[in-house]
Structure 1
Amino acid sequence: MPHLTLEYTRNLADFDPAQALAALNEAMFDSGLFGESDIKSRACALDCHQVGVRDTPRGFAHVAVAMLSGRTDEERKALADSLLAALAPLIAGHTVGEVQLSVETTELHRPSYAKAVLHG
């Protein structure tokens, strides 16, 4: 916890998802809400997507953060804003037209969340 998922349309030319995940993880850590080794992230490229109804070059990147309950609305809003600020410059040079960026936070159900850490 937390789990961050970055979904992005593959038409973002030369976009580097590994660089984006590093920047997003850094923003998560800088928020002071999470321990460094607790932050988990992954990126998913979308080959098939649709934005709107017109045949116009468009794409998007969406960040979803699932975290345990206990954060205030203000903390969650500040986190979303900082993630958006970290992502925007990494996409700014890679657009194929209009690109929409968004961030959402959701709460995991604390009583049913299970976690194990294995050491090898």
Structure 2
Amino acid sequence: MPHVFLEYTSNLTDFEPDNALLRINHVLVASGQFAAEFDIKSRATRVETFRVGTGLTVRGFVHVKLALLSGRSPQVKAQLSESLLAGLQELGNWPSSVEVQLSVEVVDLDRESYRKALL
């Protein structure tokens, strides 16, 4: 289980989403909260149309949403978001011509209504 949703802006031309997803998955496994083989489902979406603020400065962003089954403590969720943010920062190769914002959010999925089937 968790689901990872990565969004990144199209002006980050050197951003490698597959490398980012692999890094994110490794960070999550290292947390001890998830198994490596089947637990983590991650995907990336390139955002073509976006706006950051109202100014004319060239800006972009990378945002990670981590959706977890409910029940983890606020401390565990904070540790996961801090680790994910550090992992994003380590990706490097951020363009000097773009002001880049990195962000992470952790959201709870209702444990009682979540369903999964393995085929």
Helix, strand or coil at the partner of 1:110: coil
Q: Give me the CA root mean square deviation.
A: 0.9
Note the alpha carbon deviations across 1:5-61, whole angstroms, 9 max, x for none.
Answer: 100001012110000000000001111111221101000000000001011110000
Q: Counterpart of 1:3? A: 3
Q: Counterpart of 1:81? A: 82
Amino acid in the other structure paired with 1:26? H
Counterpart CA distance in 2 for 1:112 and 1:58 is 38
Counterpart CA distance in 2 for 1:51 and 1:80 is 21
2:106 corresponds to 1:111: no
Q: Counterpart of 2:18? A: 18
- Structure 1: runs of 5 or more not aligned: none
- Structure 2: runs of 5 or more not aligned: none
Note the alpha carbon deviations across 1:54-108, whole angstroms, 9 max, x for none.
Answer: 1111000000000101211010000000001111121x32323210000000000
Counterpart CA distance in 2 for 1:94 and 1:101 is 11
Q: Equivalences for 1:1-80 in 2 at 5 Å?
A: 1-36=1-36, 37-80=38-81
* Structure with more of its chain in helix, by fraction: 1
Counterpart CA distance in 2 for 1:31 and 1:10 is 30
